[in-house]
Amino acid sequence: MRRLSLVGLVLLVVAAAGCASSSGSTAETAELRILAGTVEVAVGSGDFAAAVDGQVLEAGHTVRTRTDGRAAIEYFDGSVTRLDHDTSFTITTLETLNNDDESKVIEGEQANGNTYTRVVSLTDSASRFDVVTPTATASVQGTVYAVIINSDGSTTVAVIDGGVNVLEGGTEFAVGVGFMVTVYADGTFSDPEPIPAELLDGDWITYNRCDIDVESDCDIEPAPLASIEISPGTAEVEADEPQEYTAQGFDAEGNPLGAVGATYEITDGTCEAASCSAASPGEHTVTGSFGGFTDTATLTVGLGDVAVTLDWEGPADIDLWVTDPNGETVRYDSDSSSGGHLDDDSNKDCEADAPPPPETISWEPGTAPLGSYSVTVDYWTECGAGAVEFTVTVTVNGQVILSTTSTLTDVDDSFETGFEVASAS
């Protein structure tokens, strides 16, 4: 393990010396190519916005790929940097020096993720191509290399083509084709070592070597889909509030294959395209399906300020009524002007396809009136059930203030209780 005597690691590919008498520079541009999925661009410290294929990039622009995204930055001199999934890259300098050689200067900062860069051969010492990462600076002239920011914060630079010299203090040592170095957050770095097969033949390097570098021995087919993952894995919404979902595909090794067009369904709710919602408070399971693979997520519907839940087992049709402090009763056939609402009329008229218990009457946050509430449980139709044991649970501001269990024996029997709401928060 070696220790750096300067900030970061400097990788140099020596070029022929040239005369560079700079007297200013001319700003240049680059062009963005969207290779896959979601790609975004921000100008300076501004917000990110959806990128457009062919978009002109200037110094100060940041390109960010999402989990399904890949992109390429094509520079004015013919060099190119490709961004893997979940990668952020900022262009800091794009210019041609006003010297005799018209030297090209390209500088960027890679905050995270993986890049693959092919730098055209530069013939004068004033031309340079620098990429700064959290632990290293790769400065090259005419080479092909990958920069990988690892999960521990270290940076790996793998040289695919060209000769690279590593400067340690005043000493240089060579890193040849097929070798790599790793720079750690504490300033130490590894000796050059052969690029392992799992990296050299991995998805990212192979994807680029067989595309922009057009190797004749490449015959790459997309890895088969082995699993999908839907996102978000957990979410909380109010009753009937829609939640949008996305799905990603992965191969058997866990490598992302990009977005997939999954179909969705939810327990005790509805899904339209990739948007799912439910009325009943509590947890609901969302299932995404694509290509014979499935994944699940949990959607929790909040209870609101006030929620009264009636639960029982069996086919009997019993009904929940709640009368608010304004004297308005919420039940199967009426809501209240304050926003009280019954989610489902469970076991309605003994219908086989009616929603099963429980039933919940609730008020959205900030709408429940203060004062006294009365609760009635009415035995409407027995549906062959006979006596029915039930439980009433009252939640106010997320806290259970009442839970009681009783039994209704015959049709038209009823049970009554009540509670107070003294504060809306």
For residue 178, give the amino acid letter: G
Max intra-chain CA distance, the chain: 103
Q: Which three-class secondary structure state does DSSP give residue 395?
A: strand
Q: Looking at the DSSP assignment, which residues form a beta bridge with residue 361?
A: 308, 342
Question: What CATH architecture does domain 227-301 belong to?
Answer: Sandwich (2.60)
Share of the chain above pLDDT 90, in %: 47
Q: What pTM, to 2 d.p., does this model score?
A: 0.48
Segments of the chain assigned to CATH 2.60.120.1440: 2-209
Exposure of 1 by Cβ count < 10 A (0-12 exposed, 13-18 middle, 19+ buried)? exposed
The ranges of the chain annotated as CATH 2.60.40.10 are 227-301
71 membership: H or E segment, kind and range: strand 70-75
**Which of 94, 60, 84 shows the shortest CA–CA distance to 147?**
84
204 sits in which H/E element: helix 203-209
Measuring CA to CA, which residue among 39, 198, 22 is closest to residue 98?
22
Average pLDDT over residues 260-265: 89
* pLDDT tens digit sequence for 294-306: 999 999 877 667 9
Torsion sign over Cα 304, 305, 311, 315: negative
Q: Place 13 in a pLDDT band, splitting at 50, 70 and 90.
A: very low
Going by CATH, does the domain composed of 2-209 fall within 1.10.10.10? no
- Residues 6+ positions from 217 with CB-CB distance below 8 Å: none
The CATH number assigned to the domain with range 306-421 reads 2.60.60
pLDDT at 399: 83
